[in-house]
Structure 1
Amino acid sequence: MLFVALAVMLSLVVSAVVALYVAYPHRGEQMPVVPWLGDALGRAVESAPVLADDERDLQRLG
């Protein structure tokens, strides 16, 4: 039972972080209460690898 409660809490925390990211840093706005969290999320997204348009087209053909 404890495992289920911890799993639910973890999923709620992750979904809250995703919702905050979509609401503020993804649109280029600063988070009003916790700006350090917005900065951290922005740095994490900038460091993630992204496929360019031409690479995406090559993957569709392959």
Structure 2
Amino acid sequence: MLFIVVAMLVILLLAGLVVVYAAYPGRGQRTPYAPWLGEAMEKAADALPTVESEEQRDWSLRR
């Protein structure tokens, strides 16, 4: 029972972080009440590898 409660709390925390990122730093705005959190999320997003537009491939089945 305790494992389920802890797992649900972790899931809710991660979902909350995703919502905050999508609402503020993902749009280029500062996070209210916790600017340090927005800065940390921006650093984490910048550190992740991304695919540039020149590197994208068409993975569709149409030719």
TM-score (norm 1): 0.88
Cα deviation digits, residues 9-59 of structure 1 (max 9, x gap)? 0000000000000010001000110000000000111111001123221x6
Q: State, as a whole percentage, how many aligned pairs show the same letter.
A: 35
Hey, what's the Cα distance between the residues in 2 that align with 1:38 and 1:54?
Answer: 29
| 1:13 alignment partner in structure 2 | 13
* Aligned-residue RMSD, C-alpha: 1.4
Matches within 5 A, 1:1-62: 1-57=1-57, 60=59
1:32 alignment partner AA: P
Letter in 2 for 1:60: W
More helix by share: 1
Q: C-alpha separation between the residues in 2 aligned to 1:24 and 1:16?
A: 12
Query: TM-score with structure 2 length normalisation?
Result: 0.87
